[in-house]
Amino acid sequence: MIDFAIPAELAAERDRIRRFVVDKIVPYERDPRLTSHGPNDDLRQELVELARAEKLLTIQAPVELGGAGLGGRSLTHVEQAVLYEAAGWSTLGPVAMNCAAPDEGNMFLLSKVANPQQIDEHLSPLIDGRQRSVFAMTEPGGAGSDPGQLSTTATFDGERFTVNGRKWLITGADGAVSWIIMARLAANPHLPEGPTLFLTDGRQPGIVIERTMNTMDRNYVGGHGVVRFDDLTLPKEALLGEAGQALRYAQLRLAPARLTHCMRWLGAAERAQHIAVEHARTRTAFGRPIGEHEGVSFLLADNEVALHQCRLTIWHACWLMDQGERARHESSMAKSFVSEELFKVADRCVQVLGGIGISDETVVEMIFRDMRAFRLYDGPTEVHKWAIGRKVLG
């Protein structure tokens, strides 16, 4: 059965989230604590407390682990899509509601893989909004979209792991407490070798944040860091899941994370379209509002079509996951299609706004810059198309 109706309870929560973001979060978009590297931790904590007061903190986490959920139960993927779109009206909305990357994806992974002690020490504080996390996989040498090139190493003597290597583009590294680190475990007599995940506190010796990279996007707390592991010593309890299974766990995390990126950025693109439409109604040229000229109205019409197509694409992939399917193929299609289409939406909004579209008079220019980066998050379009092509060809 195909049913596109949004139940009344879900619609009411969607509208409540949108009002919260518009009334309480949008005013912070001019806050100086929103830096060129994203909101700082002081701003994040203030926003988190606003969401906590409205009972909108960490809506996506399982309710049995402290997530807000909906009506006393955990969200389905489709419900998540509807609510994340509302939260994404401001890029600070997901930050406030503790459902932004990378924490959202890391919480999902930990809820599936972490043991009870790791849940107490790392997942519970994340869900409560008291600390942040990172997923340290990408490396200067190539490991990222191709994690098979992983060069960070780990050795194990039966009691302790020793990790060495260098990572970059590690989102949220500056100030994060919970670190998920991917390293290639060397052959040893105790555990299987191969790519392995470790979970540890980021404030200990051996984790060196060399610098925060200057990037065009600024929507993630802590920016994107360059990190070095210098003989990082970890107890055997730091092992996350099973040794040698990091690539499988990464896929477990990335499939839904691709979709949640799409959900949030759909909300931002909708915001850009709203601003462009209002401008087209009030700005005049050649004796009439510019929206009455086909050159402008066609841009807005193309945006409306794209937003609708993106929403349906996201919902379909989410529906498949709600049926128990992995939906890797469909999530790849959604990520590649939605990221490209929403970037076009943002670009057309800049064009409609004209000169102010490239200024900070509105948030459209920030959405445009961030949307360009979205085409790379969790796999660039070309990698997804390569995977899609392999599936098509069997």
Q: Same domain, yes or no, for 155 and 281?
A: no
Q: Same domain, yes or no, for 69 and 166?
A: no
**Phi-psi group of 165: left, alpha or beta (phi > 0 → left; psi -120 to 50 → alpha; rest → beta):** left
Which of 243, 258, 289 delimits the end of a domain? 243
pTM of this structure:
0.96
Q: Same domain, yes or no, for 237 and 255?
A: no
Q: Same domain, yes or no, for 51 and 82?
A: yes
pLDDT band at 144 (very low <50, low <70, confident <90, very high): confident
What angle separates helix 8-20 from helix 77-87, to the nearest 10 degrees? 30
Contact 188, 234 (CB under 8 A): no
Q: Same domain, yes or no, for 55 and 140?
A: no
Q: Same domain, yes or no, for 84 and 184?
A: no
Which helix (H) or strand (E) is 243 found in, with range? none
> What pLDDT sits at residue 306?
98
Q: Same domain, yes or no, for 138 and 176?
A: yes
Peptide bond into 256 cis (omega under 30): no
Residues constituting the chain: 394
- Decide if 121 is inside a domain: no
Report the domain count for the chain.
3
- Domain range for 239 is 133-243
How many Å apart are CA 289 and CA 294, to the nearest integer?
11
1 has pLDDT over 90: no
Q: Same domain, yes or no, for 174 and 290?
A: no
> What pLDDT sits at residue 147?
85
- Decide if 123 is inside a domain: no
> What pLDDT sits at residue 148?
86
> What pLDDT sits at residue 373?
96
The enclosing domain of 353 has a CATH number of 1.20.140.10
The enclosing domain of 39 has a CATH number of 1.10.540.10
Indicate the Cα dihedral angle 249, 254, 260, 263, nearest 10°: -160
Residue position matching structure tokens 């809820």: 111
Q: Which of 172, 362, 354 shows the shortest CA–CA distance to 272?
A: 362
> What pLDDT sits at residue 142?
82
The pLDDT tens digits for 198-249 are 999 999 999 999 999 999 999 999 999 999 999 999 999 999 999 999 999 9
Q: Give the three-state DSSP class for 83.
A: helix
- Decide if 1 is inside a domain: no
The pLDDT tens digits for 116-134 are 999 999 999 999 999 999 9
